[in-house]
Structure 1
Amino acid sequence: MPNMTSMTSTQAPATATMADKRREETIAGYLFMSPMMVIFLIFLFIPIAFALFVSFTNWNGITPLGQTQSQTTGVVLFTNLTTDPVTIPAGTIVTTEGGSPIRYRLTADVTLEAGTEATAEGSIVALDEFAGSGGNTRRDSITAIEGDLAEAVSVTNPSALASGQDNAYQFVGLANYQDLLFKQGIRQRDFFLSLKNTVYFVLGVVPAQTVLALVLAVIVNQKWLKGKGIFRTAFYFPSITSSVVISIIFLWLFARGGVVNVLISALFPNYDPVTWLNDPNGVIHNILGLVGITRDTVGDWASSRIVGLTLWDWISGPSVTLFTIMILNTWTTIGTLMIIYLAALQGIPSQVYEAASIDGATTWQTFRRITVPLLAPTTFFVVTLGLIGTFQVFDQIAVMTSGGPAKTTLTIAYIVYSNGFNNSEMGLAAATALILFAIIFAFTLIQRRITRESLDAY
């Protein structure tokens, strides 16, 4: 019978060796991952945490975050109006002129010698309720002294006061979120107006760019097509061209006297040129108007308001100007998505198509029953990229319209920029950005659920 003790003693080193090997592999794996983890930490997680922190404050984005509150200080000149010596005790209050005087406190005793021309200087500091620069204190002249000494002493400030400073920020809790989502006012209206515009932009661009990219990929993947490289380059070229440059070109093409209107006028002599980039009318409103349905004919229900917008505003569709930008965005993105689809198409085994051909499948049946289901993971990826990109549309809006006309091209991303850098409301901008993040995340989950159900249906 084998000696169990000896077997155990010989197997123990092997077990220890395997554990050490697994440990080494784990350490090596984390070492390989560590550069990317550091990048994610610095450029993703820390900025998200900072944005979350800022969203609970009223920080203006300009004041250094480490700045703390300090009071306005300065020097005043007292003049004796009597023939007797006068002592002005510390704590005496001097004030500025005007209907809303700002009050300052004398920090130390000041003694005036006898004589009507006797003068002396004293240091002052703003009272707590006027600390900081909110009252624009340094521009006011100090002319009055409170108390029994008002008739005996006059006061002036010979030089400007040293302006105090406010705290860099104050915690406001959920106030920024309430202003955007629940509190009636211009902030709520602009946010939901931008949300409406952005959703119409997404619903128009994402399906269009996905379908066109797939169709182009299928075409340039055909064996019979000559000059594939030329077509692939031509379709992909807009994606690598500067978005600003393309936006400026579209401004020229779609101007009232631009190439687009000239070509349409050549085809239709009675055509009235459209101001493509300065037309706030909604596309759906225009279509309804062709059949006689207008705001005046639909009834009172259209005047009902939901989060600052009337129902008639909600069903306007994208404005003509936003629709033009949607065309631009679709044209500039289908090239990249086409390359993604093309790579996926070339990864489908040819034996699958050969089997379908032997079974007598038509071209349409092959595409619908084989190509589309096998491309489902790629479609999910393409649609996800499209959702993220369109919800974050900014550059074309900033270059072409700046949110106009009549805020019909205002998007959530542009609201973030406008609040943060134009209005110096970085806390509000951070709250808007986080709401946008939540919207994109929710739409991505919904899209993933739909894609999975579609895949299961095949």
Structure 2
Amino acid sequence: MTATATSPSRVRSPRNGLRRGETLAGWLFTGPVLVILGVFLLIPVLMALWVSFSDWSGRGSPFSSQVGFVGLDNYAAVTVDGGLPTRDFGIALRNNGWYVLLVVPLQTALSLFLAVLVNRAILRGRGFFRTAFYFPSVTSTVAITVLWLFLFSASGVVNEVLSWVGINGPNWFNDPSGIVHNGLASVGIVDGPAWLTGNDFLGLSWWQWLAGPSVAMTALIFMAVFTTSGTFMLLFVAALQNIGGEIQEAAMIDGANGWQRFWRVTLPQLRPTLFTVITLGLIGCWQVYDQIYTGTQGTPAKTTMTPAYLSYTSAFLDQDWGQGAAIAFILFAIIVAFTAFQRWVLRERPVSKRRARQYQVKEAKR
């Protein structure tokens, strides 16, 4: 009886067969979803990318022979040509930039504060407060916007409350002045220095870029913080409940007070959730559209116009589909850049050797 040599490559172990079966099952389950995403997401995005490089008029197929390739002309029209499309894009970018700069930190801080508040064991009726804080997030944006228009009207509830404390409230949704310029004007600074007023970017001087959000946009900023903080609060609550109590007890034994425990123990463990909240906040703020369309449609004086709304008006109202698509892809690049930047800021940093030695010396002294 002779033993026959078998090639190792031909040996099929049960583990390899199981893995192949799992791979096949995985593709069978995910295949339909991938097809749906490809047909209804990837292909339309690629078609829109082609439109941004073409002079498509919106009629017929964008791939017909009548549609010409114009290269980067649509992108140049809104960024470097210096005409009305460039100025409109600069105004929209300024408005949205101030919107992001104020909404993302405010909604993140407020949602974290609410999460810490409702996560405390000594708070009675925590379920009620969680529901109350979350309720605006599930309310229709259109309904909230209409309500906000009523509350912030010239004779609305907000101005009525401000009158009780002697403040003459502005005509919120009809005031195009920037709040930073208004604050400077209150101390006598009306005109900016020559180095700010003499140079421009995207059709606006740097003094105009620093005007701050308009009074009308400020009301929309309040609305965004009010409607989104409840959603992010739930994310922070879930993260707080996953933090072990023994870590807090160890910090208390070491003599850390409440603020030190939050800043040096709790907050570092919330880094993944903080990244998620800020990322979702950035994406949502740069894509703001429905509040603008329902409430102001860019008025007054285009101070509430955003790139997303400008993309819509360029394509669907002005029938300039190439510029509308170009604005959308520029906005996409901005969102990716901001997301990558905040990911870099919130990355895990290794402990330096100096800090490690300081910690060892401190432990040795104990």
TM over 0.5: yes
Please give the residue correspondences for 1:96-107 in structure 2 after superposition, counting only pairs within 5 Å: none
- Say which of 80, 85, 95 aligns to 1:187: 85
Q: Residue 34 of structure 1 aligns with which residue?
A: 31
Greater fraction of residues in helix? 2
Alignment identity in percent? 45
Paired with 2:156 and 2:164, the residues of 1 have a C-alpha distance of 12
Q: Residue 50 of structure 2 aligns with which residue?
A: 53
Task: Please give the secondary structure, in 2, of the residue aligned with 1:452.
Answer: coil
Q: Is the 8 Å Cα contact of residues 212 and 334 (structure 1) preserved in structure 2? A: yes
Q: Is the 8 Å Cα contact of residues 373 and 455 (structure 1) preserved in structure 2? A: no
Paired with 2:50 and 2:63, the residues of 1 have a C-alpha distance of 17
Q: Residue 158 of structure 2 aligns with which residue?
A: 260
Task: Please give the secondary structure, in 1, of the residue aligned with 2:120.
Answer: coil
Per the TM alignment, residue 17 of structure 1 is displaced from its structure 2 partner at its CA by 4.4
1:294 and 2:194 aligned = no
Please give the residue correspondences for 1:81-96 in structure 2 after superposition, counting only pairs within 5 Å: none
CA shift digits 1:34-92 (9 cap, x unpaired): 2332232123211211110111112232x1217978xxxxxxxxxxxxxxxxxxxxxxx
Give 4+ residue runs of structure 1 displaced > 4 Å after superposition: 8-14, 66-69, 453-458
Task: Please give the secondary structure, in 2, of the residue aligned with 1:173.
Answer: coil
- Say which of 97, 102, 105 aligns to 1:204: 102
Paired with 1:186 and 1:241, the residues of 2 have a C-alpha distance of 37
- Say which of 220, 243, 261 aligns to 1:325: 220
1:219 and 2:215 aligned = no
1:43 and 2:46 aligned = no
Paired with 1:274 and 1:10, the residues of 2 have a C-alpha distance of 85
Which AA in structure 2 matches 1:26? T
Task: Please give the secondary structure, in 1, of the residue aligned with 2:301.
Answer: coil
Per the TM alignment, residue 380 of structure 1 is displaced from its structure 2 partner at its CA by 0.2
Which AA in structure 2 matches 1:308? G
Which AA in structure 2 matches 1:65? S
User: Given the superposition, is the C-alpha separation of residues 374 and 16 from structure 1 closer, same or farther in structure 2, using an over 3 Å criterion?
Assistant: closer
Paired with 1:187 and 1:31, the residues of 2 have a C-alpha distance of 48
Larger RCO (CA under 8 A, 6+ residues apart): 2
- Say which of 295, 307, 318 aligns to 1:412: 307
1:280 and 2:176 aligned = yes
Q: Is the 8 Å Cα contact of residues 56 and 175 (structure 1) preserved in structure 2? A: yes
Task: Please give the secondary structure, in 1, of the residue aligned with 2:190.
Answer: coil
Q: Is the 8 Å Cα contact of residues 376 and 455 (structure 1) preserved in structure 2? A: no
- Say which of 146, 154, 175 aligns to 1:248: 146
Paired with 2:124 and 2:173, the residues of 1 have a C-alpha distance of 38
Q: Residue 3 of structure 2 aligns with which residue?
A: 5
Which AA in structure 2 matches 1:316? A
TM-score w.r.t. length of structure 1: 0.73
Task: Please give the secondary structure, in 2, of the residue aligned with 1:15.
Answer: coil
Paired with 1:10 and 1:180, the residues of 2 have a C-alpha distance of 65
User: Given the superposition, is the C-alpha separation of residues 66 and 450 from structure 1 closer, same or farther in structure 2, using an over 3 Å criterion?
Assistant: closer
- Say which of 292, 295, 298 aligns to 1:403: 298
User: Given the superposition, is the C-alpha separation of residues 275 and 14 from structure 1 closer, same or farther in structure 2, using an over 3 Å criterion?
Assistant: same
Q: Is the 8 Å Cα contact of residues 213 and 341 (structure 1) preserved in structure 2? A: yes
CA shift digits 1:137-170 (9 cap, x unpaired): xxxxxxxxxxxxxxxxxxxxxxxxxxxxxx4x32
Which AA in structure 2 matches 1:272? N
Unpaired segments of 5 or more residues in structure 1? 70-166
Paired with 1:231 and 1:293, the residues of 2 have a C-alpha distance of 44
Deviates more, 1:231-240 or 1:425-434: 425-434
Q: Is the 8 Å Cα contact of residues 90 and 201 (structure 2) preserved in structure 1? A: no
Q: Residue 65 of structure 1 aligns with which residue?
A: 61
User: Given the superposition, is the C-alpha separation of residues 387 and 298 from structure 1 closer, same or farther in structure 2, using an over 3 Å criterion?
Assistant: same
Paired with 1:68 and 1:433, the residues of 2 have a C-alpha distance of 22
User: Given the superposition, is the C-alpha separation of residues 4 and 10 from structure 1 closer, same or farther in structure 2, using an over 3 Å criterion?
Assistant: farther
Which AA in structure 1 matches 2:181? H
Which AA in structure 2 matches 1:235? F
Paired with 1:12 and 1:195, the residues of 2 have a C-alpha distance of 60
Per the TM alignment, residue 321 of structure 1 is displaced from its structure 2 partner at its CA by 0.6
Paired with 1:213 and 1:414, the residues of 2 have a C-alpha distance of 27
Q: Residue 320 of structure 2 aligns with which residue?
A: 425
- Whichever of the two has the greater Rg, that structure is 1
1:394 and 2:292 aligned = no
Per the TM alignment, residue 357 of structure 1 is displaced from its structure 2 partner at its CA by 2.1
Per the TM alignment, residue 18 of structure 1 is displaced from its structure 2 partner at its CA by 4.1
CA shift digits 1:104-158 (9 cap, x unpaired): xxxxxxxxxxxxxxxxxxxxxxxxxxxxxxxxxxxxxxxxxxxxxxxxxxxxxxx
- Say which of 25, 30, 37 aligns to 2:22: 25
- Say which of 103, 113, 136 aligns to 1:238: 136
Per the TM alignment, residue 249 of structure 1 is displaced from its structure 2 partner at its CA by 0.6
User: Given the superposition, is the C-alpha separation of residues 451 and 68 from structure 1 closer, same or farther in structure 2, using an over 3 Å criterion?
Assistant: closer
Paired with 1:208 and 1:236, the residues of 2 have a C-alpha distance of 16
Q: Is the 8 Å Cα contact of residues 197 and 408 (structure 1) preserved in structure 2? A: yes
User: Given the superposition, is the C-alpha separation of residues 417 and 212 from structure 1 closer, same or farther in structure 2, using an over 3 Å criterion?
Assistant: same
Deviates more, 1:397-406 or 1:352-361: 352-361
Per the TM alignment, residue 29 of structure 1 is displaced from its structure 2 partner at its CA by 2.2
User: Given the superposition, is the C-alpha separation of residues 308 and 15 from structure 1 closer, same or farther in structure 2, using an over 3 Å criterion?
Assistant: same
Q: Residue 107 of structure 1 aligns with which residue?
A: none
Q: Is the 8 Å Cα contact of residues 197 and 409 (structure 1) preserved in structure 2? A: yes
Unpaired segments of 5 or more residues in structure 2? 356-366
